[in-house]
């Protein structure tokens, strides 16, 4: 059975290094349909039936850059069997912003925390087991540059893809936001598969026009938007961004420790 794995991550997270290490010379380069954004695909070394698609480097699944739109359209419409989310371990706070969104797509996600060789030098620690629990997905430490852990990451991604079981996001936003999401989810018809409902509901609450246009029958969610904006005295896009950062801060607090050396020099 052939398997599709999407490689997703921020620019400079080491995505190209990992893609090259996983696929070797087994690559095809083209453009994403209709745009001049480079599309790279390759076969996983030693696994002809596993195709890895290198998504453009992005910070978010918002509709503001061509790269973000290309990446999310691929994820929504092509539905890869798994997402291998590479994050730069030296910059984890910023990188997790995308990760929290990838987890909402209803596609199985495995996270590879990269640059572990750098972390070993600085003494900063990421507690992988805690991170895995907080995120509700498997996490593997890698150094794409040195090749450490990449085989394990690939094997886990393939196993996850074969299982076809997406994790359910374990985190909940503030109660009012969750209640608005549930209300919008209930308005989404058969057009949106169950596992994608959370992603679509959040995008509609964020007033994402591209998603509205892509839907055959986008529900009217003005009531949910108005209620939230009144409650939080802010626009819904900022409300949801804030909620993500609250979640990310709690992850950093629980899962990351800075080296003593650094603490002393920065205080
Ligand atoms: C340069 N460890 C270390 N130490 N570095 C890594 C690792 C790792 O595990 N993985 C990647 N890098 P990309 P995107 C560079 O190019 O794969 C490095 O954007 C340099 N170049 O080597 O390109 C990688 O595809 C000059 O670094 O990322 C690259 O996601 C001086 O991270 C950079 C120093 O990796 C980005 C680094 C001329």
pLDDT of residue 267: 47
Closest to 85 (Cα-Cα) out of 105, 67, 109: 109
Q: What is the pLDDT of residues 172-195, one digit of tens each?
A: 899 999 999 999 999 998 999 999
pLDDT of residue 1: 80
Render the burial of 189-225: b for 16+ CB within 10 Å, e for the rest.
Answer: eeebeeebbbbbbbbbbbebeebeeeeeebbebeebb
Query: Looking at the predicted structure, is the pLDDT value of residue 33 above 70?
Result: yes
Q: What is the pLDDT of residues 135-150, one digit of tens each?
A: 999 999 999 999 999 9
Atom 29 of ligand 1, nearest CA residue: 14
pLDDT of residue 20: 96
List, in sequence order, every residue forming a beta bridge with 82; answer none if it has no partner.
5
Output the ligand 1 site: residues, CB below 6 A. 9, 11-17, 57, 114-115, 117-118, 143-145
State how far the Cα of 5 lies from the Cα of 146, in Å rounded to an integer.
22
Centre of ligand 1 from the C-alpha of residue 84, in Å? 18
pLDDT band of residue 261 (cuts 50, 70, 90) is: low
Looking at ligand 1, which atom is closest to the CA of residue 146? Answer: 9
ipTM: 0.97
Which DSSP symbol is given to 218? P
Mutation choice for ligand 1 from 144, 146, 149, CB with most ligand atoms inside 8 A = 144
Mutation choice for ligand 1 from 23, 29, 145, CB with most ligand atoms inside 8 A = 145
Centre of ligand 1 from the C-alpha of residue 106, in Å? 30
Q: What is the pLDDT of residues 206-257, one digit of tens each?
A: 999 999 999 999 999 999 999 999 999 999 999 999 999 999 999 999 999 9
Looking at ligand 1, which atom is closest to the CA of residue 148? Answer: 9
pLDDT band of residue 121 (cuts 50, 70, 90) is: very high
pLDDT of residue 53: 97
When pLDDT is averaged across residues 26-42 and rounded to a whole number, the result is 92
Centre of ligand 1 from the C-alpha of residue 86, in Å? 13
State how far the Cα of 75 lies from the Cα of 179, in Å rounded to an integer.
26
């Amino acid at each position: 059975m052939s398997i599709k794995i999407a490689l997703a991550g921020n620019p400079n997270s080491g995505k190209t290094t990992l893609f090259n290490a996983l696929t070797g010379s087994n690559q095809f380069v083209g453009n994403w349909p209709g745009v001049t954004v480079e599309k790279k695909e390759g076969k996983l070394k030693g696994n002809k039936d596993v195709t890895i698609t290198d998504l453009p480097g992005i910070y978010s699944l918002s509709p503001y850059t061509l790269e973000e739109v290309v990446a999310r359209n691929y994820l929504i419409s092509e539905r890869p069997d798994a997402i291998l989310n590479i994050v730069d371990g030296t910059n984890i706070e910023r990188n997790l912003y995308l990760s929290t969104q990838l987890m909402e797509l209803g596609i199985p996600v495995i996270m590879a925390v990269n640059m572990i060789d750098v972390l070993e030098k600085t003494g900063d620690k990421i507690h992988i087991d805690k991170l895995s629990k907080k995120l509700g997905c498997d996490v593997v430490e890698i150094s794409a540059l040195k090749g450490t852990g990449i085989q394990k990451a690939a094997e886990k991604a393939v196993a996850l893809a074969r299982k076809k079981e997406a994790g359910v996001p374990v985190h909940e936003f503030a109660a009012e936001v969750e209640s608005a999401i549930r209300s919008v989810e209930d308005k989404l018809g058969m057009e949106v598969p169950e596992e994608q409902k959370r992603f679509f509901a959040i995008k509609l609450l964020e007033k994402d026009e591209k998603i509205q246009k892509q839907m055959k029958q986008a529900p009217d969610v003005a009531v949910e938007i108005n209620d939230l904006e009144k409650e939080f005295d802010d626009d819904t896009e900022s409300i949801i961004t804030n909620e993500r950062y609250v979640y990310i801060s709690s992850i950093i607090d629980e899962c990351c420790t800075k080296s003593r050396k650094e603490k002393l020099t920065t205080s």
